[in-house]
Amino acid sequence: MKLSRGMAEAAARLGHDFADPSLLIEALTHPSVGGARDNQRLEFLGDRVLGLVVAQALLDEDPTAAEGDLAPRLNALVRRETCAEVAASVDLGAALRMGRSEMISGGRRKQAILSDAMEAVIAAVYLDAGLEAARALVLRLWGPRIAAVRAQGLDAKTALQEWAQARGMPPPDYLDLAREGPDHAPRFSVEARLADGRAATGAAASKRAAQQAAAAALLLAVEAPT
């Protein structure tokens, strides 16, 4: 199956020569096309491949970081907004196949569409050439962001608040659930809750760290693919 000119140019920008071009075609086909194999199944797989590669990169980048520090960094790097930014950086929207009404409504610039397409492309590379090829693609496109996320110090509470505000919601609430253990080694449990009722809990040796853990858990839950 031959790639269109736009898709061939996209493959060049991605830096991957597809042995099976049909995988890229599928990755860049939006469901609005109708009657064609769209990119939703690949998006499901690509989300997992991206998470694995970025998680390992974060461990390698900061060998001493605790899980409570790594979780918000991971979320910041794999969230929809970041995936869409990366897709835009290689002009993935220009190569998308979509229905006329979606195209007229600005689909090539829509965050959700770009994010899905980027994750689908990662899966296409993975299926075409294996994990190392997918890893090389992710590290090439996400590299500067991976290097910067530690320095940015975006904690989970800040990231969750920004996530809520971007969707017209008030800041999340934090509810103290329990304090256990002796005075010299306490354990705090905290619940983070959004205005729409979604919530998650976290536990740590300090109330602040427990809030961070709860926020990180809630971020992972709300950003998880449906």
How many angstroms separate the Cα of 215 from the Cα of each of 11, 75, 127, 179, 224?
A: 37, 11, 34, 18, 14
- 20 is a catalytic site residue: no
Q: Which of 177, 172, 176, 175 is nearest to 218 (CA)?
A: 172
Catalytic pick among 38, 43, 47, 116: 47
SS (H, E, C) 178-222: EEECCCCCCEEEEEEECCCCCEEEEEECCHHHHHHHHHHHHHHHH
Name the catalytic one among 26, 38, 116, 119.
119
Known catalytic residue: 119?
yes
Name which of 99, 93, 135 is nearest 112 in CA terms.
Answer: 93
Element (H, E) at 174: strand 173-180
Tell me how long the chain is. Answer: 226
What are the catalytic residues? 47, 119
